[in-house]
Amino acid sequence: MLGPRVVRRKDLDLSLNLKTEQFLKTPDASQANWLISRSMDELADDLVHLDSVSKRFVSGSKRKEIFEDWVKSQAKYDDTQLIIDGQQVMQDWERPYMEAMAKVATKTKGDVLEIGFGMGISASYMLAMGVKSYTVIECNEDVRMEFEKWKKNHPKCDVSLVFGKWQEVIGELGLFDAIFFDTYPLSEIEFEEYVSNSVTFAEHFFEAAASHLKDGGVFTYYSNEIDSVSRRHQRALFKYFKEVSFSICSPLFPPEDCNYWWADSMIVTKCVK
């Protein structure tokens, strides 16, 4: 069992050193060998595949640090994007992605909860596709004003906004048929914790999503996955949802200066409670 193991590909060698005989000790050594070889093959194949995808990334721009209190920060809208505290919070190249997730969230045509109103792009798609009611949690004051303007364009629909951070207000809400999560880190601490150190940004919301969905309800979220979903990501989902499925949304065209996404495709996830 012990001793370096090496997996070779044209452009890389991947090696693994196990420090103890007890690690992954299966009844039969061949079982452990199979698990380890499989994991190493997966990582090597993933890296080779990401090498080909990396050629399609846009060059991107540097993200500014988040300094201000997000709640009161000015939200600047133009036709193509929403900027809050210097952050590119939402850009309109994501429309096809928002539309694809809106389709998932409106499958049940029921009561939908969205977290994060932003430019209202996903909200408009969901209303056009048909829902019984639409509730959104939003914590920025200017974005709330934008919601109020948007609401006037939908006088016949049952729409409402709950103001505040979802962490503070979601407990007041009941159960929904579908939940759509697309927020943005509110501080550098959140960025470090939820973007850099989580399997996907929405991971910190999975538990809340599951506890506010009816049985059979559907959850979808901005995923940052390019063309598939990692095993760690899948495990995190299966802790809370009984069925999970994926589709690829492409092509997407993030502009060269986009600082929060680089690739030309993203994964749409449908999780059923």
Ligand X SMILES: C[S@@+](CC[C@H](N)C(=O)[O-])C[C@H]1O[C@@H](n2cnc3c(N)ncnc32)[C@H](O)[C@@H]1O
Q: Which residues bind ligand X (CB under 6 A)?
A: 89-90, 98, 115-122, 137-140, 143, 165-167, 182-184, 186
Tell me how far apart the alpha carbons of residues 85 and 261 are, in angstroms, rounded to a whole number. 18
Which is nearer to ligand X, 104 or 186 (by Cβ)?
186
How are the residues of the chain apportioned to helix, strand and coil, as percentages rounded to the nearest 5?
35, 25, 40
Nearer to ligand X, 7 or 201 (CB): 201
Q: How far is the CB of 181 from ligand X (least distance, A)?
A: 9
**Nearest distance, CB of residue 258 and ligand X, angstroms:** 13
Residue nearest to ligand X (CB): 118
C-beta of 89 vs 213, nearer to ligand X:
89
Of 267, 272, 70, 266, residue with least CA distance to 167: 70
Closest separation between CB of residue 230 and ligand X, Å?
Answer: 22
**Phi/psi class of residue 249: alpha, beta or left (left: φ > 0; alpha: ψ in -120 to 50)?**
beta
Q: Which is nearer to ligand X, 7 or 194 (CB)?
A: 194
Residue 229, beta-bridge partner list: none
Smallest gap from Cβ 10 to ligand X, in A, equals 39
Q: Are 163 and 138 in contact (CB under 8 A)?
A: yes
Is the CB of 111 or the CB of 146 nearer to ligand X? Answer: 146
Whether residue 113 contacts residue 219, with contact meaning beta carbons closer than 8 Å, is answered with no
Q: How many residues does the chain have?
A: 273
Nearer to ligand X, 137 or 210 (CB): 137
Whole-angstrom Cα Rg for the chain: 21
In whole angstroms, the minimum distance from the beta carbon of 166 to ligand X comes to 4
DSSP per-residue letters across 87-138: EEEEEGGGHHHHHHHHHHHTTT-SEEEEE--TTSHHHHHHHHH--SEEEEEE
Least Cα distance to 99 among 134, 133, 125, 127 occurs for: 125
Say if CB 118 and CB 89 are below 8 A apart: yes
Q: Of 36 and 129, which CB lies nearer to ligand X in the complex structure?
A: 129
Shortest distance, position 98 Cβ to ligand X, whole Å: 5
Q: How far is the CB of 195 from ligand X (least distance, A)?
A: 12
